[in-house]
Amino acid sequence: MGKALVVYCTRAGGTKKIGELIAEGIRIEGGEADVANVTGIKKEADLDGYDGYLFGSPTYHGEMMQAMKTMLFLAEKANLEGKAGGSFGAFGWSGEAPGRIFDTMEHILKMDMVSGPLRLKSALLGGGTEMAQGYGREIGKKLSTS
């Protein structure tokens, strides 16, 4: 069974919560999942040893947070080609960040991406918990077939 790393950045905690729920979904499907704050990913080796990766950032001023941009440059050097991938983030109204992360994972890192990015206004509202867990389950299924 595969193992995934969920890396989040956050200012107010919402994107962390979504990442934790995604990890739960992966575990429901029998996979293993570690959850890490982006501040703990400092070198390429910190990304070693996983079959799948989920990167998450909220949207501020139309962009992902700087720490996630820096981490994506690190990931470019970590050879994640062909690994399962997904992206996520909390947002208020426009929510550009998860899509930008998703596109980078697909086009630059050349990862095996799930259907699309997960954007949630809150993990606690309107079925958000189930959607985040469901996204994790989608990755979990990918891990079990890869």
Q: Which stretch, 9-17, 24-32, 38-46, 101-109, contacts ligand FMN (CB under 6 A)?
A: 9-17
Binding track over 45-84 against ligand FMN, x by CB under 6 A = -------------xxxxx----------------------
Which one of residues 1, 30, 43, 92 is an interface residue with ligand FMN (CB under 6 A)? 92
Closest distance between ligand FMN and the C-beta of residue 88, in Å?
10
Tell me whether residue 40 or residue 93 sits nearer to ligand FMN (CB atom). 93
Query: For residues 10, 135, 107 and 36, what is the CA-based torsion angle, rounded to 10 degrees?
Result: 40
* Residue 91, beta-bridge partner list: none
Dihedral pair phi/psi, residue 3, rounded to 5°: -130, 135
Tell the residue number behind the tokens 């426009």, with chain if given: 94
Closest distance between ligand FMN and the C-beta of residue 2, in Å?
26
Query: For residues 32, 36, 41 and 47, what is the CA-based torsion angle, rounded to 10 degrees?
Result: 10
Q: How far apart are CA 33 and CA 117, in angstroms?
A: 18
Tell me whether residue 17 or residue 83 sits nearer to ligand FMN (CB atom). 17
